[in-house]
Amino acid sequence: MFISVSDEVKHKEDGQTMIVTGIASGMVECRWYDGYGVKREAFREDELFPVNVARQLVS
């Protein structure tokens, strides 16, 4: 799977929609708003899937 910075992704288990803010060494840094504040965490690429593939293919 190809993920790049600014893509919208979801975690396979949690389902939270997040924005990719960085990629390095097989890890993907994401940020999201949980209703109280902005959260930040890094995930392995295989833990995520793109939210809107059609939009990503067009851009």
- The reported pLDDT for the residue numbered 54 is 56
Q: Which one has a higher pLDDT value, 13 or 42?
A: 42
**Residue 56's pLDDT is what?**
47
Residues 6+ apart with CB under 8 A from 4: 20, 23
pLDDT in tens, 14-58: 778 999 999 999 899 999 999 999 999 999 999 999 987 655 455
In the prediction, which pLDDT does 21 show?
96
Checking phi first, is residue 55 left (phi over 0); if not, alpha (psi -120 to 50) or beta?
Answer: alpha
Let me know: does 30 contact 43? Beta carbons within 8 Å.
yes
Ranges of each domain in the chain: 8-53
